[in-house]
Amino acid sequence: MNFMAPKNAPEHVHRSPPVARHPGARESLSGNKAAALEIGRTRLLVAGVVFALAFTAIGGRLIDLSLSNGAAPRLAQSQASPHPFTGRADILDRNGVILAANVPTASLYAEPRLIRDPGQVAAALEKILPTVTRAGIQAKLASGRSFVWIKRNLTPREHHEINRLGIPGLNFRREVQRVYPNGNLAAHVIGFTNVDTEGLAGIERSFNDVLKDSAAPVRLSLDVRVQHILTQELAATMKEFDAIAATGVVLDVRSGETLAMSSLPDFDPGRAGTASSNARFNRASLGLYEMGSVFKIFTTAQTLDSGTVTLNDGYDTRKPIRVGRFAITDFKPKNRWLSVPEIFIYSSNIGAALMARDAGTTAQKAFLSELGLTRAPGIELSEVSPPLLPSPWRDINTLTISYGHGIAVSPIQVASAVGAVVNGGEMIPTTLLKRGAGDPVSGRRVISESTSRTMRDLMRLVVRQGTGRKAAAENFLVGGKTGTSDKLVNGRYARNKRLASFVGAFPMNDPRYVILIMVDEPKGTKKTYNYATGGWVAAPAVRNVVERIAPILGVMPAAEGFETESSEHLLIKTKASAQQAKAQRIAAN
């Protein structure tokens, strides 16, 4: 078929209708005309089909767009982020309470070139803005520059008042301000930012990039209620004993979450610039302390777990241990042979040192390392210190470390390590971030299940009968260990400057929470017969905190008489067997 139609083809096509009206007339046409007609029809058909298809497609699409609702929600959903973008994400506590947020504010700036009477403007501004001086503003306004800040982040009231003045040349710029609605609470954990909202400390610093890049908030493991109670009790203890500082932590021993971390004195993160470096110092993670007898928890756990000693063993604690010019003595000497549980409960330095000596330096070092006490705490803060370890780690160090001297660690590490001792024997990484309900918790076994059970019993005994009796919170089954250590001042241990601490867990039948409180330089009072030891200072604070936080955390008091002889048998049995062992020794000699 010839598609290259002859020039006169349209004519034929035009004429074709009359032809078509007479059927059979086609035969009369010459072959040439018939072919042209055929071409025309074919073209018409092709074009028609193409158009029909196109219209069908368009029609179909129209129907699709107008009838199906698929497109509309897609459009609406495009902006459905639930968090407003403020330039920096919020920091929340575990229950969603805002700890830090960016809120829009107005900042006042001036264009001095547009201001005719700087003196008058300065006078007007001085009345509204309490923090600026007239002379200061006047100098700024007279500078002849094109832009000067007068005051950033005005309060809504100041903004309104200045707006009402209607002075040309004074303008506002919308800015965002980092606010900390809970004030001083958890200031050391949250940290703070500079005026350009760049994180300088705490979570604000360690999560700076995350907070800047995403609108989704960072959810911490802290609980503001627990944090508040801990801080309040610390402050009360500090006041009562005229201490210079105090710190405390509450950890969940199963998940490793930090429920509270407090360090006093503290500061307002919104005004961090005016805070002293002493107040900004996070004693819980950055401070390094010789924790004293609290370390006997680790010494006892290690020697029991390795089989170096058993609960039936004991040591003669009558004579101080002399190594070179050092002498290891007991604070309250019992002057007799003590069983292993007694050494722990009455906190005998001599006994602990002898236990550690029998276990050896290598074993002690390895065990403390497994508990994470030989490196910086692994929490999500940049304010952490690696511990001060003896170098080289001699045998004399092993003896003193057994009762917490000659090694300086941060309180948070000690709390984590105690958590591992009581939670069944697994070291769980401590975190400041909230764990999801289904997040797997991966622990590393450090002591056996049964050693952990024994340690719980021993720690419970300390509170029932030993040095920690004042930590006995009513029916909450607190167990723990006291610690009192003299502070090093100019390389010597000062007798009158000490750290009083208590680290405990509750409820001791199935520990959920570890709590550590440490008070720096407490002074004894009349009420405490001038004692300022861990048992007199920190233990009562722990009791107060436990009694207040346990109901919040859903820990119910045990039924009256719930605790029977469950842990006392340790002492009774060992006393009996100790006497037996002693008799055997005498017989052997």
Partner 1 sequence: MGGMRRMAVPLSIVATLAIAMMLFNLKQRVGSLEKELTQVNRDIGDHRETIHVLRSEWSFLNQPARIAEQAKNILGMERIPPKRLIRLEDLPVRVPSDGITQIAGSPQAVPGARVPTIHGGSRP
Active site residues: 293
CB of 412 to partner 1, least distance (A): 22
Q: Is position 524 an interface residue for partner 1 (rule: CB under 8 A)?
A: no
How many whole angstroms separate alpha carbon 484 and alpha carbon 98? 37
Q: Is position 16 an interface residue for partner 1 (rule: CB under 8 A)?
A: no
Q: Is position 551 an interface residue for partner 1 (rule: CB under 8 A)?
A: yes
Judged by CB under 8 A, the number of residues near partner 1 is 41
CB of 463 to partner 1, least distance (A): 15
Q: Which stretch binds partner 1 (CB under 8 A): 147-155, 177-185, 276-284, 404-412?
A: 177-185
Judged by CB under 8 A, which of 27, 196, 209, 560 binds partner 1? 560
CA atoms within 13 A on the CB side of 524: 15
Judged by CB under 8 A, which of 8, 117, 474, 527 binds partner 1? 474
Q: Is position 566 an interface residue for partner 1 (rule: CB under 8 A)?
A: no
CB of 472 to partner 1, least distance (A): 11
Helix extents (H) in 294-426: 296-306, 340-345, 349-359, 361-370, 395-401, 411-422
Q: Is position 103 an interface residue for partner 1 (rule: CB under 8 A)?
A: yes
DSSP string, 428-472: ---BSBPPPTT-----EE-S-HHHHHHHHHHHHHHHHHSTTGGG-
Q: Is position 83 an interface residue for partner 1 (rule: CB under 8 A)?
A: yes
Question: 32 CB contacts (<8 Å, ≥6 apart)?
Answer: 6
Judged by CB under 8 A, which of 101, 412, 471, 542 binds partner 1? 101
Judged by CB under 8 A, which of 82, 144, 166, 324 binds partner 1? 82
- Closer residue to partner 1 (CB): 55 or 147: 55
Residue 324's SS3 state is coil
Judged by CB under 8 A, which of 121, 137, 185, 279 binds partner 1? 185
Beta-bridged to residue 149, according to DSSP, are 109
Judged by CB under 8 A, which of 308, 465, 475, 566 binds partner 1? 475
Judged by CB under 8 A, which of 73, 183, 273, 386 binds partner 1? 183
CB of 220 to partner 1, least distance (A): 13
- C-alpha distances in Å from residue 233, one per residue of 262, 412, 474, 538: 10, 18, 17, 10
Q: Is position 562 an interface residue for partner 1 (rule: CB under 8 A)?
A: yes
CB of 587 to partner 1, least distance (A): 45
- Closer residue to partner 1 (CB): 55 or 493: 55
Q: Which of 546, 554, 526 is nearest to 463 (CA)?
A: 546
Q: Is position 553 an interface residue for partner 1 (rule: CB under 8 A)?
A: no
How many whole angstroms separate alpha carbon 469 and alpha carbon 142? 70
How many whole angstroms separate alpha carbon 454 and alpha carbon 571? 12
CB of 227 to partner 1, least distance (A): 8
* Subset of 226-245 contacting partner 1 (CB under 8 A): 227-229, 232
Residue 561's SS3 state is coil
Mutual angle of helices 296-306 and 361-370, in 10-degree steps? 110
Q: Is position 588 an interface residue for partner 1 (rule: CB under 8 A)?
A: no
Q: Is position 558 an interface residue for partner 1 (rule: CB under 8 A)?
A: yes
CB of 431 to partner 1, least distance (A): 22
- Closer residue to partner 1 (CB): 89 or 396: 89
Helix extents (H) in 242-339: 277-280, 296-306
Q: Which two tokens stand for residue 555?
A: 């820990």
CB of 316 to partner 1, least distance (A): 42
- C-alpha distances in Å from residue 317, one per residue of 197, 342, 343, 459, 541: 58, 11, 9, 21, 31
Q: To which residue do tokens 């035009």 refer?
A: 14
- Could you tell me the maximum CA-CA distance found in the chain, to the nearest angstrom? 147
Q: Is position 559 an interface residue for partner 1 (rule: CB under 8 A)?
A: yes
CA atoms within 13 A on the CB side of 187: 23
- Give me the residues that bind partner 1 (CB under 8 A), please: 62, 66, 75-76, 79, 82-84, 86, 90, 97-99, 101, 103-104, 179, 181-183, 185, 224-225, 227-229, 232, 473-476, 547-548, 550-551, 556-560, 562
